[in-house]
Chain A
Amino acid sequence: GIQVEQSPPDLILQEGANSTLRCNFSDSVNNLQWFHQNPWGQLINLFYIPSGTKQNGRLSATTVATERYSLLYISSSQTTDSGVYFCAVDRSGGGADGLTFGKGTHLIIQP
């Protein structure tokens, strides 16, 4: 099956810092999504981005499908940004294979 690698696995930053999280995948995909799992376990969809660039407030994401990677940018970090960030992909056209998740990047923002 498709492999998803995320880096770095852990990241500790001070409030106000910027960060870039990377997701590499082993095959072409029709579906790529970024999620944030907060310390209470709630998984929030950040971006649906199989290709191109999107921005939402302090967060933005870019997927270069031809080179099989995606980047999530977090600017001016806040303590509420802490948690685990997951990249998830799907090769199929109809979503029936489900999303394959990476192991995540564990982000800690210190005040």
Chain B
Amino acid sequence: ETGVTQSPTHLIKTRGQQVTLRCSSQSGHNTVSWYQQALGQGPQFIFQYYREEENGRGNFPPRFSGLQFPNYSSELNVNALELDDSALYLCASSASGVSPLHFGNGTRLTVT
């Protein structure tokens, strides 16, 4: 059974640029969610995708957007990067919206 994989592991971007992070869900999981974890804090919910549609969103601006593909993999896109976007971005998959979440190892994004 393949777990959740994320790429890249680390990324450095300049303020104002755009970034795309990628996630492959665990086999058998059709729901993918993304979380942002600032240093020393708990993860914060960005959004959730089910059957290629966004079906839930946290308190993040529209410049955070995503996609889910037919194979259930997902992308997180962030436009107009700000310094405060520097964080660990975690992707999680689950068999349904209320079943156990399984996280990938995350992408560490640094915005300079």
Contacts and interface: CB of A to CB of B under 8 A. Distances in A.
Contacts of A48: 99-100
B70 interface: no
- Chain B contact residues: helix, strand, loop or mixed: strand
Contacts, number: 69
B58 A98 contact: yes
Interface string A70-88: 0000000000000000101
Among A97, A98, A100, A102, max chain B CB count under 10 A is at A98
A106 B106 CA distance: 20
Contact of A96 (B41, B43, B55, B101): B55
Interface in B7-23: none
On chain B, which size bracket covers the interface?
20 to 34
A97 B88 CA distance: 20
B45 A98 contact: yes
Main SS at interface, chain A: loop
Given A95-B31, A95-B48, A95-B94, A45 B42 contact: no
B42 A94 contact: no
A42 B105 contact: yes
B45 A100 contact: yes
Interface of B: 31, 33, 35, 41-48, 55-56, 58, 88, 90, 94, 96-103, 105-106, 108
Interface of A: 30-31, 33, 35, 40-45, 48, 86, 88, 90, 92-104
